[in-house]
Structure formats: C-alpha cells, structure tokens
Amino acid sequence: MTSCRLCGAPVEVFLDFGPMPLANGFLAGEDFETEGFFDLSVAFCMHCAAVQLTNPVPREKMFHSRYPFFTGSSTRMAEHFRAFAASVADDLRSEDPFVVEIGSNDGTLLRFFANSSVRHLGIDPSANVAAAASENGVRTAIAYFDPPFAAEVVRTQGQADVILAANCFCHIPDLHRLAEAVNILLKPGGRLIFEDPYLGDILRLNSYDQIYDEHVFYFSLTSVSRWLDACGFEVIDVQKQPVHGGSMRYTCARRGACRVSGAVADLRAREVCEGLHLPETYAQFRLRVERSREELSDVLVKLRQRGLRVAGYGATSKSTTVLNYCGIGPSLLEFISDTTPLKQGTFSPGMHIPILPPASFHSAFPDCALLFAWNHADEILAKEGAFRASGGKWIRYVPRVSLV
Ligand code: DWN
C-alpha cells in the first residue's frame, strides 16, 4: 500500500498504465536497446482527495540540458502568458517590485517583466531552456527551487512581491518542501500565483493523456487547499484558464492576510457536486479511459486496413501515454510532425515512431492526422486549412474518439 505524498494516508490506485517510457524521452535509433521504463500508475487519496502518481521518476531523468519542451512553441500560449504577466504587473504596488517564476522554461512569461524593466528572476533546472530564456533577456538561474536556494535569493536579492508558476507545481513531488521555500522567499503580504491542468477538466474531457511521469499531481481546489492549509497559506482566488486542455489559476497568500473571493467557495461546492472527493468518480474515469483506448485502436487499425496513410500531429508529452497505452506503433502511424528542432530526427519514446519536421507533413499530406496537440487545436486548425482542403481528416480522441 502506498501512502499519500501530501497527508500520509493510504491511497487507492485507480489506473495502472503498466510500463511506460519517459514522456519526453525522444531518442535516437541507437538508443532503443537501453531505453528505460517505469510503472505509471495513478492513485486517489480518500483523506485529502489528492490525485497523484505512485511511482515518481527521479527528476534528473526528466529535467536536464536536453529538455525538449519550449513554452514559446505555441503562439497562443505566448499570448496567454503575456496577458497573465500584464494582469500581475497591474497589481504590483511596491516601488521596486521583484517577481520570481518557478519553472520558468524559456522565459515566455517573464519576458513581459524583462521588457518592462521589472526586477525578476526565473528558476529552471533544465539548462537548455534556461539558456533560451537568458538569450531573450530574462534573468534565469539553473536550479531546483528549494529552501536553501530560496534563502540564497533572499540574501542576495531580497524577498519577492509575487511568486509565479505555470505548469510547474504539478511536477514537484515534495509540495511541503516547496511551500517551505515559498514561505522563505515571499514577502509577508506577497502573493503566490500558480496554474496547472485542472483535475475537473481531465475527468470531464477524459484527457487521460495528461497522466505521465512529469505530472506527479492532478490538482483540484480541494487538494490544493488541504496542502496549503497545512503550510499556513490559503487560496484567495481561482480563475479557470482555457489552456492546456483546461487549467486552474490559484492565487494564494498567507492565511488571513487577504480577503477570499467568492469564486473559491463556488468552485469548492462544484467539486463536491462533481464527486472529486469520491473513489467511484475515479473508477468510472478508468472505464471511460479503457473504452477510449479500444475505440482509438479500432479506428487506426481500420484506416490502415483500407490502405490509408495516417500521421501524428504534435509529438507532445501526452502522446507518449496514448501511443504506449494503446499500443500504437509505426505500423499504424507513419510519422509524427513536430515544430521542435530538438525532437525532429528522433523517435517517439517506447513506440519508436519517427518524429519529422512539419515540412514532411506539408510535402505529402497523409489521409488522416491524429491530433496529439489537441490542446492547441484552435491554433493548429487555423494554420492547417490546406490539409482539410486536400481532403485530409483529423482524428481526435479528446473528449471522445472521432474523425473530422
Ligand atoms: O506540463 C507540461 C506542459 C505544459 O508542456 C510539460 N510537462 C510538458 C509539456 O507538455 P506537452 O508536450 O504535452 O505540451 P504541448 O504544449 O501540448 O506540446 C505541443 C507540441 O506540439 C510541441 O512539441 C510543439 C508541437 N507543436 C507543433 O508541432 N505544431 C505545437 C504547435 C502549436 C504546432 O502548431
């Protein structure tokens, strides 16, 4: 029996995907033999409602100097982060504010502050994405954020007015140590604002592909509140975000320091109505996931039997879960198109499907394209009109398997 990383109570595994490769472990042909696998299973805590991986992968295996995901690879995401930064900047009141971002990746969010000459610091353990941020004029430290690091920042640069994190906290296995570090770095009246994929949306959309090694937690307001409560903080506002398949932005402060918005009580009540605290909710999710796997495999097998060419679009982290869980290999999917230079010329983790640049997609459109980057569908469908015009069909699997 595994225990909850947040409260120590026993947890119940509701979905076991079996052996999985690293979600971002894109590899060269000569590395197939030595590729590593781990057991991907996800559990629910009856006590604090935290949904979490039971078997996190050592962080150095995932976040390193060849980390292949760059936030700025989507123009819509860049716009989302520009608007996020502008709203934070509007609320800065001190004379010489200091803004820190944990997990700052290529600096897409902090660039706004850098361009406005606001004191800022990005922190990221992956040297290559941090270097991209520095090249864009964003001050970035290559580090994991922990209490000693926070103390060093305070000693050299002072405490922060605001600490930001986007798609970062769900990657951190020890949230109590994280809160300890936040407590050191944040000014007494400061705000912690973070956003991550929202559990309610994962259940609603059946987006099981959000489950992979890097995502240790699948947050709800209920679990976030229990975590922060144990650390002297509280959620003072929540705002739903339409990115990454449905995210939640949590604004937090030290307990009692700020007025709590009515949106917090509203969302808490909605989570009770949706049964986010009940084990049967997760048992039902598991059945829907299993059905989706059967339907997707069935569609792909039938398309191949008809002699049609099928390619993937977007070599996302999420695609690693889908491909390996559904057993989709090169016999069903010819290649995956992706804009990231670091991924191009490699093979997908586990199933070893070639990753090719978009030129390969455009030079000879496949008959169908499996949209792994479904969270960027608006942006992609807008620019890939020629594929549809040529008779191409998109295969979607979120929220359900469909051919459009
Ligand atoms: O939390 C995480 C999220 C925020 O980002 C990380 N653990 C890793 C990463 O997850 P992901 O890889 O599932 O993220 P995306 O944003 O869905 O990945 C999009 C992929 O698709 C990138 O490799 C870029 C590619 N892409 C493309 O080929 N053409 C993206 C767009 C918009 C395009 O037009």
Residues 206 and 76: their CA atoms lie apart, in Å, by: 23
Rg of the chain in Å (alpha carbons): 21
Pocket test for ligand 1, best of 339, 343, 346, 380 (most atoms within 8 A of CB): 339
Distance 189 CA to ligand 1 centre (A): 35
Question: 71: exposed, middle or buried (C-beta count within 10 Å: 0-12, 13-18, 19+)?
Answer: buried
Instruction: Say what the pTM is.
Output: 0.97
Alpha-helix runs per DSSP H in 239-314: 262-273, 279-305
Spatial contact of 197 and 245, defined as CB atoms under 8 Å apart: yes
What is the arithmetic mean of pLDDT over 87-95? 95
Cα–Cα distance measured from residue 403 to residue 367, given in angstroms and rounded to the nearest whole number: 11
Cα of 336 from ligand 1 centre, angstroms: 13
Distance CA 403, CA 226 (A): 41
Q: Indicate whether 343 pLDDT > 80.
A: yes
Contacts of residue 15, Cβ cutoff 8 Å, sequence gap at least 6: 41, 42, 208, 211, 282, 285, 286, 289
Whether 209 has a pLDDT exceeding 70, the answer reads: yes
Count other C-beta atoms under 10 Å from residue 44's C-beta. Answer: 25
Residue 354 β-bridge partners: 347
For residue 340, give both structure tokens.
């990231």
265 pLDDT above the threshold of 70 = yes
| CA-314 nearest atom, ligand 1 | 21
Contacts of 372 (CB under 8 A, 6+ apart): 209, 312, 313, 314, 315, 316, 318, 319, 322, 336
Q: State the CB neighbour count (10 A cutoff) for residue 70.
A: 21
Which atom number of ligand 1 is nearest to the Cα of residue 339? 28
Centre of ligand 1 from the C-alpha of residue 310, in Å:
20
Q: Which atom of ligand 1 is nearest to the CA of 212?
A: 7
Mean pLDDT, to the nearest integer, of 338-343?
98
Q: Which of 66, 74, 75, 248 to mutate to test the pocket of ligand 1 (most atoms within 8 A of CB)?
A: 74
For ligand 1, residues with CB inside 6 Å are: 69, 73-74, 167, 214, 244, 314-318, 337-340, 343, 373, 375-376, 379-380
pLDDT digits (tens, 9 = 90+) for 298-327: 999 999 999 999 999 999 999 999 999 999
> How many CB atoms are located within 10 Å of the residue 261 CB?
15
Q: Which two tokens stand for residue 177?
A: 């140590």
Mutate to test the pocket of ligand 1, among 108, 209, 376 (most ligand atoms within 8 A of CB): 376
339: tokens are 């804009």
Say how many Å lie between the CA of residue 258 and the centre of ligand 1.
35
Phi, then psi, of 128 in degrees rounded to 5: -70, -40
Token pair for residue 257?
Answer: 């320091």
Distance between Cα 328 and ligand 1 center (Å): 19
Please enumerate, as own/partner, the contacts of 173-180 that have beta carbons within 8 Å and a separation of 24 or more. 173/5, 173/56, 173/59, 173/216, 174/5, 175/5, 175/6, 175/217, 175/227, 176/6, 176/227, 176/230, 176/231, 177/146, 177/147, 178/145, 178/146, 179/227, 179/228, 179/231, 179/232, 179/233, 180/147, 180/231
pLDDT at 14 over 90: yes
Q: Determine the distance separating the centroid of ligand 1 and the alpha carbon of 254, expressed in angstroms.
A: 33
Strand order, beta sheet including 140-142: 140-142, 119-124, 98-102, 160-166, 186-197, 247-254, 233-241
CB-based contacts of 219: which residues, under 8 Å, 6+ apart?
Answer: 51, 169, 170, 196, 197, 198, 199, 248, 250
Distance CA 91, CA 188 (A): 16
Averaged pLDDT, 231-258: 97
Burial 304-322 (b: 16+ CB within 10 A, else e): eeeeebbbbbbbbbbbbbb
Q: What is the pLDDT of residues 37-47, one digit of tens each?
A: 999 999 999 99
Ligand 1 atom closest to the CA of 73, numbered from 1: 24
CA-to-CA distance for 323 and 317, rounded, in angstroms? 10
Residue ID of nearest Cα to ligand 1 atom 31:
74
Ligand 1 nearest atom to the CA of residue 209, by list position: 13
Question: What is the predicted pLDDT for the residue at 1?
Answer: 61
The answer to whether residue 167 scores a pLDDT higher than 90 is yes
Residue nearest (by alpha carbon) to ligand 1 atom 1: 167
Q: Write out the DSSP string of 295-332.
A: HHHHHHHHHHHTT--EEEE---HHHHHHHHHHT--TTT
What residues contact residue 362 under an 8 Å CB cut-off, 6+ apart?
386
Report which DSSP code applies to 333. Answer: -
**Which atom of ligand 1 is found nearest the CA of 75?**
32
Tokens of 134: 């520095």
Bridge partners, 52 (sequence order) = 43, 217
Nearest C-alpha to atom 4 of ligand 1 is from which residue? 167
Mean pLDDT of the chain: 97
Average pLDDT value for residue range 113-139: 98
Res. 336: pLDDT tops 70: yes
As a whole number of angstroms, the distance between CA 396 and CA 403 comes to 6
pLDDT at residue 24 tops 80: yes
d(CA 38, CA 348): 16
- The residues near 128 (Cβ < 8 Å, ≥ 6 apart) are 65, 66, 67, 342
